[in-house]
Structure 1
Amino acid sequence: MTKADLVEIVYEKIGGLSKKESQDIVEKIFETMKTSLKQGDKIKISGFGNFTLRDKRPRKGRNPQTGDDIEITARRVLTFRPSQILKSHINEPIKPS
């Protein structure tokens, strides 16, 4: 699923909005999420899951092509933990149409 697919779904499911307004809504949601994560906030979406940032320390690694030791720099990593509701929904058997 792409962002364009989400815009299309918002356009179809919520009557009275233009495609441009639907696109603006989806863009604002993603922009708000990105800003919150950059500030170090957690995002908790009930029934869906949690987005959090983890700080990874620098560590030693190895270049697989040359075998040389390298230093892997410290960085922030985005993690997603699905809720039990989402896990249950994903694991339900698919009903034939």
Structure 2
Amino acid sequence: MIRSELVLRLAALNPHLYEKDCEAVVTAILGRIEDALAAGDRVEIRGFGAFSVKDLRARQGRNPRTGESVAVKEKKALQFKPGKEIRQRLMNAETPDALPELRRVD
């Protein structure tokens, strides 16, 4: 789903609201989430999940084409941890804490 589809779905579920008002609501919510993450705060939406910013330290990487060693600068990455309800729905699991088994692929 993209942003415009979200606005249309919100407008369809709330016929008493104009589409431009639904767009303003979506823009306000997403803007507030962006502001909080930019400030380094954690954003939690109960039942959906939590967004946070993770600091990635500087490291030595490798150019995959040439094999040459390359310095990778420090940066920030967005992290998302799904909530229990969405994990259950996505996995179609009967137990609340069922997570897929992670295996290392070599």
Using the size of structure 2 for normalisation, the TM-score is: 0.84
In the alignment, which residue of structure 2 is the partner of 1:76? 76
In the alignment, which residue of structure 2 is the partner of 1:64? 64
In the alignment, which residue of structure 1 is the partner of 2:5? 5
In the alignment, which residue of structure 2 is the partner of 1:54? 54
Structure 1 residue 15 and structure 2 residue 3: aligned? no
Aligned positions, number: 93
RMSD, matched Cα: 1.1
> Secondary structure of the equivalent of 2:61?
strand
- Cα distance in 2 for residues equivalent to 1:13 and 1:43: 25
- Report how far residue 90 of structure 1 moved: 1.4
User: What does the per-residue CA deviation read over 1:29-61, in whole Å, with 9 as the maximum and x for residues that have no partner?
Assistant: 111110000000100110000001100100000
Unmatched segments (≥5 aa) in structure 1: none
Instruction: Find runs of 4+ consecutive structure 1 residues off by over 6 angstroms.
Output: none
Which is further off, 82-91 or 53-62?
82-91
Q: Where in structure 2 are the equivalents of 1:80-95 lying within 5 Å? A: 80-92=80-92
- Report how far residue 91 of structure 1 moved: 2.1
- Cα distance in 2 for residues equivalent to 1:35 and 1:28: 10
> Secondary structure of the equivalent of 1:79?
strand
- Report how far residue 65 of structure 1 moved: 1.1
- Report how far residue 92 of structure 1 moved: 2.3
- Report how far residue 88 of structure 1 moved: 0.6
Using the size of structure 1 for normalisation, the TM-score is: 0.91
AA aligned to 1:81 is: K
Q: Which has the higher contact order (CA 8 A, sep 6+)?
A: 1
- Cα distance in 2 for residues equivalent to 1:6 and 1:23: 9
